Amino acid sequence: MKWSQTHLFTLKEAPSDAEIPSHKLMVRAGLIKKLAPGIHTYGNMGLRAIRKFENIIREELEKSNCIEILMPMVHPKELWSETNRWNEMGAGLLKFKNRMDQDFCLGATHEEAVVDYVRHELKSWRDFPKNIYQIQTKYRDEIRPRFGLMRGREFSMKDAYSFDMDQAGALKAYDQMYAAYQRIFNRLGLNYRIVQADAGNIGGSQTHEFQLLADAGEDALLVSTKTNFAANVEVCPAIDAVPYVSKETTMKDIEKFETPGQKTIADLATFTNVPANELVKTLFYSANEGNNPKDVSLKAFAVLLRGSDEVNPIKIKNFLKMANEPRMLTDAEVLEVSGANPGSCGPVGLKIPMYLDNGLQGFKNFIVGANEDGFHLKNVNTEKDFKQTAFADLRMAKDGDKCPESDGTLKSFRGIEVGHVFYLGQKYAKAMNGVFLDKNGKSQFYEMGCYGIGVTRTVQAAIEQSHDQDGIIWPKEIAPFHVHICLLDIKDDELKSYVEKLTAELEAKKIEVFIDDRDERPGFKFKDADLLGFPVRVVVGRKGFDAAQLEVVNRKTKEVTKLAPNEVAAKVTELLK
Amino acid sequence: MKWSQTHLFTLKEAPSDAEIPSHKLMVRAGLIKKLAPGIHTYGNMGLRAIRKFENIIREELEKSNCIEILMPMVHPKELWSETNRWNEMGAGLLKFKNRMDQDFCLGATHEEAVVDYVRHELKSWRDFPKNIYQIQTKYRDEIRPRFGLMRGREFSMKDAYSFDMDQAGALKAYDQMYAAYQRIFNRLGLNYRIVQADAGNIGGSQTHEFQLLADAGEDALLVSTKTNFAANVEVCPAIDAVPYVSKETTMKDIEKFETPGQKTIADLATFTNVPANELVKTLFYSANEGNNPKDVSLKAFAVLLRGSDEVNPIKIKNFLKMANEPRMLTDAEVLEVSGANPGSCGPVGLKIPMYLDNGLQGFKNFIVGANEDGFHLKNVNTEKDFKQTAFADLRMAKDGDKCPESDGTLKSFRGIEVGHVFYLGQKYAKAMNGVFLDKNGKSQFYEMGCYGIGVTRTVQAAIEQSHDQDGIIWPKEIAPFHVHICLLDIKDDELKSYVEKLTAELEAKKIEVFIDDRDERPGFKFKDADLLGFPVRVVVGRKGFDAAQLEVVNRKTKEVTKLAPNEVAAKVTELLK
């Protein structure tokens, strides 16, 4: 394709709302253009990359006998009411009424739609297993869309759904998809990790995330230095590499002391000369999930952890078997519960459940708030001065913590979630009467899994991981084109015909060629070639042509090879192997 | 692909809401399944056909240098307000608010979105021409969706938009797209006509429709028996093959006579013994288009035509340069305007504009209503008894009318509109400030055209045109598979390995093979093969195999050839040429 025949206008500057490199580069390279916040048009180059990734997905899923269909983007309320997700999904599910005042929503995910699609057909044990997928536009009414396609409102996903007779079958389907996802992301040639993650409220119990590593990633990951262990920080066990043991040997008597204006752990550490990791902070939450509107009780509870640690609300949720993360109490509620304002609160004397992070095991004679503004207590000890409800793993794991599987440690990375696999069990089958007759003629609910890949998000994440200061460095498999020919003397007939011949030769080998035939200066063209970032650049100018010194440039390494015209095709082919 | 590895459940009976053959067949063959009225899931077979048609479109448009992009399905109100179509589009445009109370709609068409996409970039005469297209899901809030994908709410369209510096360029782009559409529909091998049509309120002045011929088509077409002339009845000129000339020689005196209870033309023809095509009917309309809410005047006018003719409201609209078809007066309004109820009204004595259809030229001493209930007038003549405002072509053309271009006649067909090309002029550029600098540095509005193909609709229309009592007869180019192998003895290893070898041999020639490996009776399998309708069926059973009499069946002609196993591949290949 020639530049003059497409619609491509690169930008020198990124728009002010583009915060991360990939977003800036995608806009500057004309891959996307914003129509409204979180809603983008994909330009021809962007679409080419997206389609290539879609085809990789199709090829690998078909190897696993997945069946492609296409479900609607507009769904009737009745469907989502069957699982109660019409209510549970919250404001992210965009709902509206049609001209006949009937309720609909835009599909944010398709569990309900796919069960409706199969439930009148999967009637016998002979009909299993099935794995059905689609690549479809999704819409989620993000309150604060940002980062281009990374957290958009309208985006494209591949979503697959497995149907099996029993749990063993479902877990086998899970493993097959896990393997297919590995093949898919391996083909991109990018650096990714498969991590344990939280299943959220989608309804399952086993889940892994596929995370492309990138500094701008929204997810924090921890990866073992010794084993394959990797987890999203949401669920990563937190184990001290060197367990803390207090130097104190005996329990002392509790003592109140004045701490005027010392509200933060940092303040208190300076004021008391005790390091933050030997101080204890007390946080207050409500266990009332609001399921019963008549119940306005707070159901307050406290979580205690080291001053240097960060609480992990997902661990609290999972430990207490709550549906959602617990709500932190407001300052006024804390005052009501403890008698003091945040900064002076502690466990002593309170009659609410107390959950202590495992990091506090081994603590003796420690400092906590006195539940009286401007005062703290020292020489506090569990059991003696207050009764803990339980010890549990409630803090965020961090770089340097112990690997849960080995004597290695954990190293932290940032990741962009591009895929996930979920084992769903019978949740949707039960809600939507998904039953079949087993070999004994008995009616059973089937087991499901669901498996997503963010198609548009992956394309951007690839750029986030693979770029330099000059522009994109496309992985070959999803590069919009493989070769970028900078034709410098656009009116030189000999060069034009050389470029035509070279293009034909490369295209015969399925190498896709983009030709910059614009009437622009060489430096301008080279800058655009770097920005667009196709794997190989060939510079065709009169001087180089006459001197048998045509430049073939590896975009990634910037390595330049100078060759005679008839050597170029072979070199390009070699670089693309 | 093997039947056992896909998700396909055929139905013996069509659902009760399927009225036309193609809708019934698509549901029965598992191509589509309804999620809500006008909203369907495309099964794997349906999706395969759709994708093949999409690829035909892509290939042909790329030959015409069209550039593929993908625009969003959700659009902000601000965009549609620029052209005032937020209001003008009516209830078919599905509007909703997001969680922040901002107004959006689902894209029903993309003129506004595409102008927004290009308007900051097409700045110089050097940037033209451009032709940008997408294949995207569209949503129109049809009040009464029916006929499956033919008049659905959610459907897929290819929409292209041309941008040119001047009208000459725009008309050239129009011709190029016209030619590309011919190539696209020729490849389907179906019977279609390109017809003149009404431009509606999309804003252009030149338009053609591509119509697949089918009895269930919603459009009436008229096609010349002698030339290439073809038109939608909406705009087809109506010319009598044999012009009517009254046998009367002199004008007689007007005479009122009693016609008690004679309200319809049929009644009156019997009562007066004058044939309907020599009677005159008078219809009343309002020219008030409601643009000014304070203007409640009726602006009544009358249209007169032969009793045997049908009025064409689009011709009235176009003749009077109205934005929409005029509203017929209610019975009460007719009484107010004429002094009589419908059935006894006529032109004599009324002070409103009178438009006479050309068919009344040559009428003398004719009968009209007397504007007095139960009375008519005879011996009425134009000029003498009432003053016509104008004669014009205001009736529906019909089978047997004269070809406007030759001495041939018109033959009527029913058609399904699958494509249209529109010349838009500067309407959208002017509304959205689509300007560029011409060669003289002067700012100009660019010229546009828009070009649509109903992707999902075409697939169904193909079936509507190409089927028999047993099922679908797929055109080869969009058949989900080319060959349907009925493997009769599914546990016979020799046959299984023969089918595998045959499949490999055919697939090497890019022939796509579907294998019915279900444990079902032969007759059951043959019925499904006919229903699914892939071009060639091969029956592989032990008896035929041993006798070297394997059946190769042409789905369209039902012709059966019996061959030795090693002759089958060649025959299949030949049939698919």
Which chain B residue's Cα is nearest to A79? B35
Output the pLDDT for position A229: 94
Output the pLDDT for position A204: 58
Residue with tokens 């996409």: B117
Give the separation between CA A427 and CA A112, rounded to whole angstroms.
11
The count of C-alpha atoms lying within 13 angstroms of the C-alpha of B149, restricted to the half-sphere facing its C-beta, is: 31
Output the pLDDT for position B244: 86
The confidence band for B291, taking pLDDT boundaries of 50, 70 and 90, is confident
The confidence band for B293, taking pLDDT boundaries of 50, 70 and 90, is confident
The answer to whether residue A393 neighbours chain B at the CB level (below 8 Å) is: no
The confidence band for A217, taking pLDDT boundaries of 50, 70 and 90, is very high
Average pLDDT over residues A535-539: 98
Give the separation between CA A544 and CA B296, rounded to whole angstroms.
78
Side-by-side strand order, sheet with A375-380: A255-258, A375-380, A366-369
The confidence band for A290, taking pLDDT boundaries of 50, 70 and 90, is confident
The confidence band for B206, taking pLDDT boundaries of 50, 70 and 90, is confident
Output the pLDDT for position A200: 67
Which residues on chain B are in Cβ contact (under 8 Å) with A121? 7, 9
Output the pLDDT for position B99: 93
Task: Return the closest-CA partner of residue A430 out of A445, A450, A448, A449.
Answer: A445
Burial of A415 (0-12, 13-18, 19+ CB in 10 A): buried
The answer to whether residue A113 neighbours chain B at the CB level (below 8 Å) is: yes
Backbone angles phi, psi at A468, to 5 degrees: -135, -170
Which B-chain residues 134-193 have CB contacts (< 8 A) with chain A?
A: 137, 139, 141, 143, 153-154
Give the separation between CA B19 and CA B464, rounded to whole angstroms.
12
Q: pTM above the 0.95 mark?
A: no
Output the pLDDT for position A89: 84
pLDDT at A202 over 70: no
| 3 state SS of A244 | coil
Output the pLDDT for position B418: 97
Average pLDDT over residues B64-68: 97
| 3 state SS of B102 | coil
The DSSP-derived string for B236-252 is -----SS----S--S--
User: pLDDT of A61-76, one tens digit each?
Assistant: 999 999 999 999 999 9
Residue with tokens 């002339």: B229
Backbone angles phi, psi at B522, to 5 degrees: -55, -45
> Which residues of A234-369 form beta strands (DSSP E)?
255-258, 280-286, 300-306, 327-328, 354-357, 366-369
What is the 8-class DSSP label of residue B315?
H
The answer to whether residue A40 neighbours chain B at the CB level (below 8 Å) is: yes
Q: Which helix (H) or strand (E) holds B497?
A: helix B493-508
Backbone angles phi, psi at B300, to 5 degrees: -70, 145
User: pLDDT of A254-282, one tens digit each?
Assistant: 999 999 999 899 999 999 999 999 999 99
Average pLDDT over residues A171-193: 97
The answer to whether residue A79 neighbours chain B at the CB level (below 8 Å) is: yes
- A130 contacts B36? CB cut-off 8 A: no
The whole-angstrom distance between B79's CA and the closest CA on chain A is 9
pLDDT at B203 over 60: no
The answer to whether residue B264 neighbours chain A at the CB level (below 8 Å) is: no
Indicate whether this complex's ipTM tops 0.95.
Answer: no
Which residues on chain B are in Cβ contact (under 8 Å) with A96? 94-97
Question: What are the distances in angstroms from CA A414 to CA A184, A219, A462?
Answer: 21, 6, 14
What is the 8-class DSSP label of residue B184?
H
Contacts of B247 (CB under 8 A, 6+ apart): none
CB–CB contacts below 8 A, A to B: 133
Which residues on chain A are in Cβ contact (under 8 Å) with B93? none
User: pLDDT of A326-377, one tens digit each?
Assistant: 999 999 999 999 999 999 999 999 999 999 999 999 999 999 999 999 999 9
Please name the member of B42, B99, B154 whose beta carbon is closest to the beta carbon of A73.
Answer: B154
Output the pLDDT for position B202: 56
The torsion region of residue A135 among left (phi > 0), alpha (psi -120 to 50) and beta comes to beta
The torsion region of residue B248 among left (phi > 0), alpha (psi -120 to 50) and beta comes to beta
- Percent of chain A residues topping a pLDDT of 70: 99
The confidence band for B295, taking pLDDT boundaries of 50, 70 and 90, is confident
The whole-angstrom distance between A9's CA and the closest CA on chain B is 7
- B106 contacts A74? CB cut-off 8 A: yes
Return the number of other C-beta atoms located less than 10 Å from residue A443's C-beta.
10
Return the number of other C-beta atoms located less than 10 Å from residue A112's C-beta.
24
Give the separation between CA A154 and CA A142, rounded to whole angstroms.
9
Q: What is the mean pLDDT of chain B?
A: 95
